[in-house]
Structure formats: C-alpha cells, structure tokens
Structure 1
Amino acid sequence: MSTRSILGLIYLVQGLQQLGEDPQPVLARHGLSLDRLDPTTRIDRTRELRIYADLAEAVRDPLAGLKLGGFYGLAGYGPLVMLLMTCGSAYDALQAGIRYQRLTYIFGTLSFEPGEQLSALVLTPMAMEARAFRFRVDGEVSGTYKLVRDMQVSLGLDIRAERIDMPCPRPPEAAAYEQYFGCPVSFGHTQARFWIRNEHLRLRLPSADPNAHGMYRAMCDQQLVAQQASTETLADRVLTHLGLFSGSYPNAEAVAQSLGLSERTLRRQLSDEGHNFRDLLAQARYAKAQHLLKHTTLSTEAIAQQLGYAESAAFIHAFQRWAGMTPSAFRAR
C-alpha cells in the first residue's frame, strides 16, 4: 500500500497535546508512542487514516480540527514549499500546488475552479464518518490556509480569501471559523472552496526564480514517482475507504464515486485484480471486528451494530465463517 511521511501525524499529535487533549491512548492502541516516532520514516495511509478516525472520536473540543491547522510547520513540506515560492505568479504557485498535492498532508483532492472575478481552490474531501469527517476536513482546510498564509508572510504579500465554503452542516461554533479565517464562511456545501480575486492570482512573486524552480520541480518529481511506484492496488484503496466506516457501510456505487471511478469501472478493475466488492466489504468488517474484540470491551451486540448488522446472531454467524470460531472464543483466546 502507499505510504507517506509520518511528519503529518507527528504535527497532528503534538498539536492535540498543546490543545490539552490526550492522544496517547489512541496511539497506544495502534502500537505507537509519540516520543518514539521517527520523523524520517513513512506510514501506511490506511493505518494513518484509522488513527485519525480514532483520534476524532477521542477529542473533546469540537474545534480541535480547525485549530490543528496552525501546528503544521512550513518547513515540513520540504522541497514543495520552495517549488511554490519560486513560481512566477500566485496563479502558477496554485497550479503547482494542485499538481504536487500528493506531497502535502491532505487526503482529499485539490482542484481549481475559474471564474470571471473570483476563482476557487477546491478541496474535495474523502468521505468518513460524521465526526471524523468534520475533524479531518477542518484540519485540511485550516492546514491549507496556514500553508498559504505562511508563504505570504515570507514573501511580504497579503492575499486573502474573499470567502470560504465548508463541506459540512453549520455547527454551533460557526462564528469561530470566520474569526479564524478572517472572511465570511458558509456551510452546507459538498466541497471546500477558497474564493480568491483573480487580480490577486496574477500577482508576481518576488522570489520567482526559474533556475531554482527547475531544480525543486525535479526534486518534487522524484518524490512523486517514489509515491506512485507503490504497490497499492484498487482493492487496497477500497479497503482503506471501507475501514473508515462503522454502523453502516457505503455501497459499491458510493465507494466508486469517492475514488473518482464509475461503479462499472470499479467492479471491472477489482475483478481484474481477482477481487469483488462483496468480499472486500466482508474483509473490512472482519478487520474491524477483530480490532474491536481485541482492544475494546464492547459487547457482541454493540460490535454487531458497529458492523452494520441488525441482529447479533447474524454477526456471530458471519464471524464464525471468517475466523472459524465465535466472537467470544476469539476474544478469550
């Protein structure tokens, strides 16, 4: 499966600690300890997403995700920051950021939406359960905002969003978002958008340097190739996505849409890999069942509900088919 720098997770956990949260119990459940994380290593994206989902359930502050954007350091983006800062204009930097977005810490997808007077940097978020979704989206939007603002401070510029759209229902803490971003914020959208005036995008960057830009582009290309050389399959991506849900699971059509595919293409490519969606759904349920039986004291009935079974008997029957023993026997062992 694909991996990326563990630095993003380190920033997240350190930020939670500074906000008065205690992420260590969640890390411990995943066999990790903050003081033993090596910032030069990489983490599997599936594992990282599961940690994020568990952290979202543990945090007490509903604005924790929004506040966490402030803890992502500019230097942590490596050559990507220098690539952006040596672009000729703000628009060129925006397009370079979209092209090399896999070198950032986001899980969503960045794109550009042009307009006559205002254009938008668009973030299409990855689907997750409601609480984890808000936690992750708030962090990705505020983190992207922090990156752009930090670069502007370094360059002596002041390009602000005219307004920001958020892809979640309006929360009770909505006023905090406008205070944080310094502009109007609206909620209830399907995607996040940073609306920017076109004349601001045409501004020349004082640090533009074609020669240095070529050098940093080559470095970013090397990092991108290393990521794309991963052995991650479509089945891995489907399992990653399904692993984020509990209670009810998305169908093949919804998963395909989240991965940017048609349902027909999803099923065909899975078949080419020797898999089918139904079996992958069972595999995701089995993995979650094992985790809950090992690391929680939830009853069989509660675990059945988290796996989307209306009755515990159906879960017990399925688990016996997967593991060759009952859930209680598995937990006792």
Structure 2
Amino acid sequence: MTTRSILGLIYMVQGLKQLGEDPEPVLQRHGLSGDKLDPTTRIERARELRIYADWAETLHDPLTGLKMGAFFGLAGYGPLVMLLMTCATAYEALQTGIRYQRLTYLYGTLRLEPGERMSALILDPMMMGPKAFRFRVDGEASGTYKMVRDMQATMGLNLRAERLDMPYPKPPEAAAYEEHFGCPVRWGEHEVRFWLRNEYLQIKLPTADPNAHAMYRTMCDQQLKLQEATSASLADRVLNHLGMFNNHFPSAEEVAKSFDMSERSLRRQLSEDGRSFRDLLADARYAKARYLLKNTRLPIEDIAAQIGYAESAAFIHAFRRWAGATPGEFRDQ
C-alpha cells in the first residue's frame, strides 16, 4: 500500500481538538488513538483518507476545514521546505513543489498554468462525498496557503494571490474565505486556483543556495523512492477509494479522474490485472455491508441505502449472491 508520514494525521487530530471537535470516536473505529500516534511511523494513504471522510460527517463547524491549515507546521514538511527555499526564483520553487507534491499532505494534484498577465497554481481535488469534499478542499487550500505564507515570512517576502477560485457552490460563510485568504474568492469553479501576478514568479529568493539545494533534492528523491517501494496495485487503490463512500458510489469516470487517468486507461489496467470496475464496486459494497452488519444494529433497509441500493430486496438478493446467506442470517451468525 502507498504510505506517507502519519504526522499529517497528528496535525489534524491536534487541530480538531483545539477547534472543539472530538476526533477520537472516528479514530477508535479505525483502531487508533490520538494520544498514541507515533510521529515516526507511516500510514496507508487510503486509510488516512477514509478517516478524513468519516471526520467530515461529524463536524459541527462548516469552517473547520478552512481553519485546519493553521495547524500544519512548516517544519513538518521536512527537507521539502528547504528544497523550495533554496531555489533561485519563486517560479522555480513552484515548479519544484509540483514535482515533489507527493511529499506534502495533499490528496489533490498540483499544477501551474501560465498566462499572459497572471498564472494559476491549480489544485485539482480528489472526488469525495459532499461533506468530505469541502472538508478536504478547504483543508488543502488553506494548508497550501499557510505553507507558502510561512515560507515567505522566513524569506522576508509578502506575495498574495490576486484571486482564489473554489470548486463548490458559494456557502453562507463565504465572507470568511476572503478574509482568510486576503483576496476575492470566486465560487462554483472546477478546481482550486490561486491566481498570481507573473512578475511575482520572477522574484529571486534571498535564501537561494545551489549546493544546499542539491543536497535537499537528494533527500527528497530518497523519500519518493520510499513511497514507490510501498505502492499498491491499481485494483487495491480503487477498492480503498470506493470504500470511503456511503449512499452514492462514484462512477468509473469519476474514480479515473481521482487517479489522474482516463476511464479507458483505468478499465484497461484493471483488465490486465484480471479485475473489473464492476467487480471492485461489488467488493466495496460487500465489505461495507459486512462491516455494518457486524458492528451496528442498523435496520437492513438503512444498510441497503448506505451501500447504494434503493430497495432492500435488491440488496438482499445481492448479499445472498456474495455471502451465500441473507443479511439477517449473516448477522445472526
């Protein structure tokens, strides 16, 4: 399985507690305890993302994701921060950050889109359920903003975005976003876009150091190799991704977009491994149904709805095909 430092999860736990939320019930459901998380260990990305999705369903404050960025310390990015700060220009730092984005706490995908007067640093978010989507988008946008602002403070710079685009409808709390990011916000776009004046990209960084930059690049390359050595198969990744959803599961096209590939490529690669998207969707539903039957007393009708069946009869028929028993018989066993 693809893994990364558990430090990002620890920051989230600390932030949620300080904001008056209780992260422990969700952690306990995943076999974890906030007080016992070891910052030197790693966590599977899919498991971490399922925890985030579960947290999103419990939040009391819709601005929690926006506020979470404040709890991600600059030092937590390790050698990546020093790699960026030793670049020659702001443009080089952005391009380097995009190349090594897997060493950040992002689940979305970063890219830079140049323009004539302004360029856009784009965060293409991972598709999730509505509550989890806003929680992750807000957290990743504010976390990216916090990282850039902290680096600027260290270097004595003060560069701000001209505008920010957000990929969901305008919420009642929209004014808080403009105050937080210090710029106008446009809603209902397809991606997160930080619009930057092109002259900012040419600014020379006062901390540029070619020799130190080469050293930190080597360290970051080693971290990437560690991640690649623990990569899961595409089928495993798709199955874990599907496991984060309730009620409505994403289509093959939506899942392919989450993994930055076309639907055709997704289906072809799964087929080469002897799997199909349809089978993986059935596996995800079966796993979720077993969990709910074993660990809750929810009525069969509610469980059917949670795994995407409009009628309990259809769910009972499917479950009998999967398990060789009805949901009720399985629960009694």
Q: TM-score, normalised by structure 1?
A: 0.97
Residue 58 of structure 1: SS of its match in structure 2? coil
Tell me, yes or no, if structure 1 residue 273 matches structure 2 residue 273: yes
Residue 207 of structure 1: SS of its match in structure 2? coil
Tell me, yes or no, if structure 1 residue 184 matches structure 2 residue 218: no
* Cα displacement (A) at 1:303: 1.1
Q: Deviations over 1:6-47 (max 9, x none)?
A: 110110111000000011111111111011110111111111
Tell me, yes or no, if structure 1 residue 33 matches structure 2 residue 49: no
User: Which residue pairs with 2:50 in the alignment?
Assistant: 50
Tell me, yes or no, if structure 1 residue 205 matches structure 2 residue 200: no
User: Which residue pairs with 1:288 in the alignment?
Assistant: 288
20-29 vs 232-241, which deviates more? 232-241
User: Which residue pairs with 1:301 in the alignment?
Assistant: 301
Question: Which amino acid is 2:12 matched to?
Answer: L
Question: Which amino acid is 2:75 matched to?
Answer: A
Question: Which amino acid is 1:239 matched to?
Answer: L
Q: Structure 1 CA distance, aligned partners of 2:308 and 2:302? A: 10
User: Which residue pairs with 1:19 in the alignment?
Assistant: 19
In the alignment of these two chains, the number of paired residues is 333
Q: Structure 1 CA distance, aligned partners of 2:233 and 2:327? A: 30
In the TM superposition, 1:1-333 aligns within 5 A as 1-333=1-333
Question: Which amino acid is 1:219 matched to?
Answer: M
* Cα displacement (A) at 1:290: 2.2
Q: Structure 1 CA distance, aligned partners of 2:279 and 2:159? A: 49
CA contact (8 A) 2:127 2:254 kept: no
Identity %: 70
Question: Which amino acid is 2:285 matched to?
Answer: R
Q: Structure 2 CA distance, aligned partners of 1:330 and 1:13? A: 35
* Cα displacement (A) at 1:226: 1.4
* Cα displacement (A) at 1:152: 0.5
* Cα displacement (A) at 1:252: 1.9
Residue 274 of structure 1: SS of its match in structure 2? coil
Residue 57 of structure 2: SS of its match in structure 1? helix
Question: Which amino acid is 2:265 matched to?
Answer: T
* Cα displacement (A) at 1:120: 0.9
Residue 40 of structure 2: SS of its match in structure 1? coil
CA contact (8 A) 1:119 1:198 kept: yes
Residue 302 of structure 1: SS of its match in structure 2? helix
In structure 2, do the counterparts of structure 1 residues 231 and 181 end up closer, same or farther at CA, with 3 Å as the change threshold?
closer
Residue 4 of structure 1: SS of its match in structure 2? strand
In structure 1, list runs of 5 or more residues that go unmatched.
none
Q: Structure 1 CA distance, aligned partners of 2:73 and 2:200? A: 24
Q: Structure 2 CA distance, aligned partners of 1:19 and 1:250? A: 31
Q: Deviations over 1:245-286 (max 9, x none)?
A: 221222222322332222222111111111111110001111
Q: Deviations over 1:164-192 (max 9, x none)?
A: 00111100000000011111111100100
* Cα displacement (A) at 1:331: 3.2
Residue 193 of structure 2: SS of its match in structure 1? strand
Q: Deviations over 1:35-90 (max 9, x none)?
A: 11101111111111110000000110000000001000100000000000100111
* Cα displacement (A) at 1:319: 1.8
* Cα displacement (A) at 1:314: 1.4
Residue 27 of structure 1: SS of its match in structure 2? helix
Q: TM-score, normalised by structure 2?
A: 0.97
* Cα displacement (A) at 1:327: 2.2
Q: Deviations over 1:214-245 (max 9, x none)?
A: 00000000111111222411112211221222
In structure 2, list runs of 5 or more residues that go unmatched.
none
65-74 vs 249-258, which deviates more? 249-258
Q: Structure 2 CA distance, aligned partners of 1:247 and 1:278? A: 17
CA contact (8 A) 1:29 1:295 kept: no
Question: Which amino acid is 2:258 matched to?
Answer: S
Residue 17 of structure 1: SS of its match in structure 2? helix
* Cα displacement (A) at 1:292: 2.2
Q: Structure 1 CA distance, aligned partners of 2:330 and 2:49? A: 26
* Cα displacement (A) at 1:134: 0.2
